[in-house]
Amino acid sequence: MFADALTSVLDINVILLTALGSLSGVLIGALPGLSVTMATALLVSLTFSWSMEYALAMIIGVYTGGVFGGSISAVLLNIPGAPAAICTGFDGYPLAKQGKAMMALGLARIGSFIGGLIGLFFLAAFAPPISVIALSFGPFEYLGLITLGLITIGNLSEGSFIKAIISGLVGLLLSTVGMDPVYGIPRFTFGSMELMSGIGLIPCLIGFFGLSEVIVQMRIPSHRHKMIDQLGNVIPKMKTFLKMVPLILRSSVIGAWIGALPGVGGTIASFLAYDNAKKTVKNPTQPFGKGAYEGVVAPEVANNAMIGGAMIPLLTLGIPGDAVTAIMMGAFIVHGLQPGPLMMVNSADLFWFIVILFLIANILFLFIGLFVTKYFTRILSLRPETLMPIVSVLCFVGAYAIRNSPFDIVIMVTAGLIGYLFKLIKFPIGPLIIGLVLGGMADGELRRVSMISEGNVLHMLFTRPIALVIFAFALLQVLDQIPVFKEWRKVTGKKIKNGLKIKK
Amino acid sequence: MAESYGKKDKKRSENKKVEGETYFQEKQMEGRMKREKILLLVLVLMTTLTMVLCAGGQAEESVANYPEKEIEAVITWGAGGLTDNIARNFIPLMEERLDGASIVPQNKSGASGALGSQYVINKPADGYTILITTTESAGVWNVMGTSDLDVNDFQPIILLSSLIPTCYVKADAPWDTVEELISDAKSRPGKIISGYAAPGSLGHVSALLFAKHSDTQFNMVPFGGGGKVTAALLGGHVDVAFNPLITVMANHQAGKIKILSTFSNEKLLEEVPALGAVVPSFSEVLPYGVMVMILVKKDTPAPIVEKLTAAAADAMKDPKWQEFADKYYLQLMGDTGDDFWEKINNWKPTTTWLLYEAGVATKSPADFDIPKK
């Protein structure tokens, strides 16, 4: 079976199409506003008449390349090309400002590669058991995970803690706009039909990060001259990575696990991984937020490990894990294949074909990424008055292209102006995006929890051990930020140490 | 984390920053005015473009030579979804029958499809913008309070197909037949959890229909998506769910779920009984399913409607379409003109009154002259 899969992969056309997909994925991902989801959707309809193998090769190439591509613009322009790349920009852009753009992109590229491989390993080796555990996650466990995600807001603040919280709350508030998930009643839509489906994440993202950055850079030019100074350092040292092995492992487990949970997505995976890195890495190369290598590697590892994870529910249960796998599922069906529990049994060669394709796509984009980043970094030598107008046009096109809706442009521009204001008064934007991403989910899960438990939420929580552990962990993280508790922990910690000494 | 750094390091990095800035500060001011002007220019330009987009172009075309240019097909659901796949498979077949005119599919999702439909309404009634949508959106907007639009604001081209839901439970669930499920639900009303995707969706309406005609009560919980419902069912968080065949076939063949029945009067699968056959109280409202339809704006000239209808009706007979329908477990329909309205007017009272009586729809169907059945 494995051999069959291998021979079908070794078709030169398959490899060429994967490479083509990977290249276009990196490019599409790198352009702010053009999303991988959109690219795969378009591709799938293009590949209806192709053979299954060719169609898959192209789609997998785009998927793998696209996730990495999003980080290119995050590092170079401080404009993430995709929501999952937001965290990469936190440390990647400061690195670029220090003239280490190539280093940051090298870290992102190799981090993505390693993350992709580990995610793939989880898919190849543990797909059935992981899917079983993922299924045991119900509304209670999801709510717990989302709570954990919301708590990361406190850890993402670069300056004022209060400002981060306010920004996060604004995001939560924005997420309540639109049709209520249970009764379908419009909330805060002010009679506007466009607002019924809520405030779109992508237009917001493009506005908050893209357009606002355009305004900032046109008014106050950044350190361009420095950025292009030292481009030589393309490949990070082996030693840098060896030191990060534990972090990489943790981030990839986070990524693969979040990916395996249907409907959670890469954005949250990268935020959790960044948060985890910030908490666990005691001596980063530079402080987090100012160009820590770890801050670039962790989210990149996670959002690529997410791909392997997201394929697990698709291939073992026929349930897509994110927007791209949902489109992939459509492609499978069009080509007469039903992804599901029987796929591993009836068409195991196809399963291995997919795994090998992902492997090839990962290896290919490692090289294609190198090639592309080399050229992409050249845009740094463009003057802001040349580059930024181009970016702003992309912002408009990107916002429109998601749903072909002019209203999304209005949202994008509004978000851009608010984002600029935020940057002026030094409010972080990251927490706002987390609030926006998680708010809707938290709303839905909370309502489900209360509906399933018929109002006795706490009572039922104690019958669900996994959820209880997650909530306890979340509570601990909150308590850890309270001064009184910190003092108490210090004191008891000393006491324990003293006690040990006495025993000796 | 910053505390872990020596003050020296901090100072050094600050110094570096200052050095870099002084060089540029001189040139900053002179370039600034220019840049701001460029920025303003670009923003004004893009805003104007946006406004043009909003307004939409208008031009005169002759009816006799239709189609003279590209036809835009607005799909009211997202790319990659069930409706999108159905539409994108049908469009090329229709193109072949319109003298090779190209039909460009466009996804305009949002507000249960009302956004895309509003877009079509805002366009001229010249047949160059067609709407591909589903009954579970266009048929219920007015009672749900989503939009003032209704199917009646459009002219039918064709009813493409219907996706019939199934009632399914986990493989190790205590019920092997619908009758067992119904009698258990009767003995403990409101205790069995039934999952559905979103308010007013096919899964929701099917669950309401099931409860009403079997005289039972379920604890109905929305999960935000059909895939998530099946995942929750497989994980044991939901007891019973209602989804179209295509979405549950894989798990059915693998023996992970039991399909208790299909929402039809005749068997759709050899091994699964039809709901209408086992529980007679259902037979009058079945078959029930979500229908995918092609519409154009009302007052589109009759010759254009006829041309489109003829092309669509002929495309229905294409073997490629039949093959796709088999793969997708679609019930092909092909109703045009008066047949179309008969199907819709038959479907509408059932669904709208169900939603209204369950408290999901905010407005009474009676307000829209929809008779109660």
B171 neighbors B255 (Cβ within 8 angstroms): yes
Q: What residue in A sits closest to B200 (Cα-Cα)?
A: A184
- Nearest alpha carbon to residue A275 among A391, A133, A138, A168: A168
Tokens of B210: 């099931």
Write out residues 116-145 of B within 8 Å (CB-CB) of A.
Answer: 118, 144-145
Which residues from A are below 8 Å from B219, CB to CB? 451-452, 454
Does residue A475 sit in the same domain as residue A450?
Answer: no
Q: Which residue of B has its CA nearest to A322?
A: B227
Contacts for B107 with CB less than 8 Å, ≥ 6 apart: A41, A403, A404, B75, B77, B78, B79, B84, B116
> Do A122 and A176 lie in a common domain?
yes
User: Residue A300: what pLDDT?
Assistant: 92
Q: Residues A1-11: what's their mean pLDDT?
A: 69
Question: A492 with A402, same domain?
Answer: no
Structure tokens at A226: 């420095």
Distance from CA of A503 to the nearest CA of B (A): 32
Q: Which residues of B touch A413 (CB under 8 A)?
A: 47
A250 vs B203 pLDDT, higher one: A250
Q: Name the residue in chain A with its Cα closest to that of B140.
A: A184
What's the CA dihedral at A89, A94, A98, A102 to 10 degrees? -10
Given a cut of 70, whether residue A27 has pLDDT beyond it is: yes
pLDDT reported for residue A14 = 86
Binary contact (B228, A194; C-beta < 8 A): no
Q: Is B322 on the interface with A (CB under 8 A)?
A: no
B249 interfaces chain A, CB cutoff of 8 Å:
yes
Contact B222 A182 (CB under 8 A): yes
**Which one of A74-78, A116-120, B260-264 scores highest in mean pLDDT?**
A116-120
pLDDT in tens, A257-309: 888 888 777 788 888 899 889 888 888 888 888 888 899 999 999 989 999 98
Please give the Cα distance from B282 to B208 (Å, whole number).
12
Q: How many helices (H) and strands (E) does chain B have?
A: 13, 11
Cβ B145–A392 below 8 Å, yes or no? no
Residues 225-254 of A with CB under 8 A from B: 225-226
- ipTM exceeding the 0.95 mark: no
Beta-carbon separation of B38 and A452 below 8 A: no
- Predicted confidence at residue B26, as pLDDT, reads 53
Q: A358 vs A117, A183, A194, A342, A361, CA distance in Å?
A: 9, 41, 38, 21, 5
> Are A386 and A501 in the same domain?
no
Determine contact, residues A136/A466, Cβ cutoff 8 Å. Answer: yes
Across B50-64, average pLDDT = 60
Residues A473 and A356 in one domain: no
Highest mean pLDDT among A294-298, A494-498, B58-62, B116-120: A294-298
Distance separating alpha carbons of residues A235 and A503, to the nearest angstrom: 51
Beta-ladder partners of B340: none
pLDDT range class, residue B112, cuts 50, 70, 90 = confident
Contacts of B102 (CB under 8 A, 6+ apart): B70, B71, B95
Which candidate in A135, A214, A407 is best for mutational testing of the B interface (most B CBs within 10 A)?
A135
| Cα gap A60→A65, rounded to integer Å | 8
Please check whether residue B52 touches A, CB under 8 A: no
Better-scored residue on pLDDT, B246 or A495: B246
The radius of gyration of chain A's CA atoms, rounded to the nearest angstrom, is 23
Q: Can you give the pLDDT at residue B345?
A: 84
Q: Do A189 and A452 contact (CB within 8 A), yes or no?
A: no
Residues A485 and A391 in one domain: no
Residue A385: list chain B partners with CB under 8 A: 31, 34-35, 38
A vs B, Cβ pairs < 8 A, gives: 219
A202 touches chain B (CB under 8 A): no
Strand partners, B274: B262
Burial of B53 (0-12, 13-18, 19+ CB in 10 A): middle
Q: Is pTM beyond 0.90 here?
A: no
State the angle between helix axes of A86-97 and A430-452 in degrees (0 to 180), rounded to the nearest 10.
170
Q: Length of chain A in residues, anyone?
A: 504
**Closest residue in B to A186 (Cα–Cα):** B146
Kindly indicate the confidence band of residue A118, based on its pLDDT and cuts at 50, 70 and 90: very high
Same domain, A298 and A239: yes
Beta-bridge partner residues of B194: B220, B240
Q: Name the A residues in 37-76 with CB < 8 Å from any B CB.
A: 37-38, 40-42, 44-45, 48
Q: With beta carbons under 8 A apart, name residues in chain A contacting B198.
A: 181, 184
Cα A146 from chain centroid?
Answer: 15
Closest among A215, A227, A275 to A423, alpha carbons compared: A215
Which band of pLDDT confidence, cut at 50, 70 and 90, is reported for residue A173? very high
Question: Per-residue confidence at B57, pLDDT binned at 50, 70, 90?
Answer: very low
**Tally of domains within chain A:** 2
Segment A200-239, tens digit of pLDDT: 888 888 899 888 888 888 877 655 545 555 555 566 777 7
Count the Cβ atoms, other than its own, within 10 Å of residue B120. Answer: 24
Q: How are beta strands B193-196 and B240-244 bridged, if at all?
A: parallel
| Cβ within 8 Å of residue B90, ≥6 positions away | B160, B312, B315, B321
The most distant pair of C-alpha atoms in chain B lies apart, rounded to whole Å, by 87
Q: Is B56 on the interface with A (CB under 8 A)?
A: no
B28 touches chain A (CB under 8 A): yes
Residue A262: strand, helix, or coil:
coil
Interface contact A411, partner B, CB < 8 A: no
Torsion A321-B332-A346-A44 (CA) sign: negative
Whether B373 and B349 have beta carbons less than 8 Å apart is answered as: yes
d(CA A382, CA A368): 23
Beta bridge partners of B104: B72
What pLDDT digit, counting tens, does each position of A177-206 carry?
A: 988 877 777 888 887 877 877 888 888 888
pLDDT interval class at B7 (50, 70, 90)? very low
CA distance linking residue B56 with residue B39, whole number of Å: 26
CB half-sphere exposure, A187, CA atoms < 13 A: 16
DSSP label at residue A195? G
Query: How many alpha carbons fall within 13 Å on the CB side of residue B88?
Result: 26
- Backbone φ and ψ for A181, nearest 5 degrees, come out as -70, -20
Task: Find the closest chain A residue to B88 by CA distance.
Answer: A45
Which DSSP letter does residue A211 get? I
Cα B171–Cα B191–Cα B165 angle in degrees, nearest 5: 50
What's the gap in Å between the CA of A125 and the closest CA on chain B? 21
pLDDT of residue B127: 84
What residues in B contact A194, CB-CB < 8 Å?
110-111, 115
* Pair A293, A239: CB distance under 8 Å: no
Closest CB to A340: pick one of B20, B146, B250. Answer: B250
Q: Please tell me whether residues A385 and A486 are part of one structural domain.
A: no
Evaluate whether A38 touches A62 at the Cβ level (below 8 Å). no
A180 with A311, same domain?
Answer: yes
Domain span at residue A489 reads 464-504
CA of A317, closest CA in chain B: separation in Å?
A: 7
For each of the domains in chain B, give its residue range(s) and CATH number, in order of start.
71-162+289-368 (3.40.190.150), 165-282 (3.40.190.10)
Strands of the B71-75 sheet, one edge to the other = B103-107, B71-75, B129-134, B290-297, B154-163, B331-335
A190: contact with B, CB 8 A cutoff:
no
Contact assignment for B224 to A181 by CB distance below 8 Å: yes
Cis ω on the peptide bond leading into residue A299 (within 30° of 0)? no
Whether omega for the bond prior to residue B67 falls within 30 degrees of 0, making it cis, is yes
Question: Where residue B169 falls among pLDDT bands split at 50, 70, 90?
Answer: very high
Q: Which of A218, A226, A290, A447 to mutate to test the interface with B (most CBs of B within 10 A)?
A: A218
Residue type, A478: V
B328 contacts chain A (CB < 8 A)? yes
Which residues from chain A sit within 8 angstroms of residue B36, using beta carbons? 218-219
Report residue B24's pLDDT band, with 50, 70 and 90 as the boundaries.
Answer: low
| Rounded-to-integer distance, Cα A107 and Cα A240, Å | 9
Contact in structure between B261 and B178 (CB atoms under 8 Å): yes
- CB-based contact A431:A156 (threshold 8 Å): yes
Please name the residues in contact with A74: beta carbons below 8 A apart, sequence gap of 6 or more: A80, A81, A85, A86, A88, A89, A92, A93
For B100, list phi and psi in degrees, rounded to 5: 70, 10
Taking the CA of residue A411 and the nearest CA in chain B, the distance in Å comes to 12
A231 and A308 fall within a common domain: yes
Tell me the residue ranges of DSSP E strands in A181-297: 186-187
For residue A100, what pLDDT band results from cuts at 50, 70 and 90? confident
**Partner A contacted by B303 (CB < 8 A):** no
Which position has the token pair 């580059």?
A387
In the DSSP assignment, the letter for residue B103 is E
Tell whether A427 and A503 lie within a shared domain.
Answer: no
**Given the structure tokens 């466990």, which residue do they identify?**
A141
- Which pLDDT tens digit goes with each residue over B305-328? 888 888 888 888 888 888 888 888
Is residue B156 within a helix (H) or strand (E), and if so which, with residue range? strand B154-163
User: Which chain A residues have a beta carbon less than 8 Å from that of B114?
Assistant: 193, 196
Rounded Cα distance between A299 and A81, Å, is 14
- Give Cβ neighbours of residue B162 (< 8 Å, ≥ 6 apart): B287, B289, B290, B291, B292, B330, B331, B333
- Asked whether residue A63 falls in the same domain as residue A200, the answer is yes
Which residue of chain A comes nearest to B355, CA vs CA?
A: A183
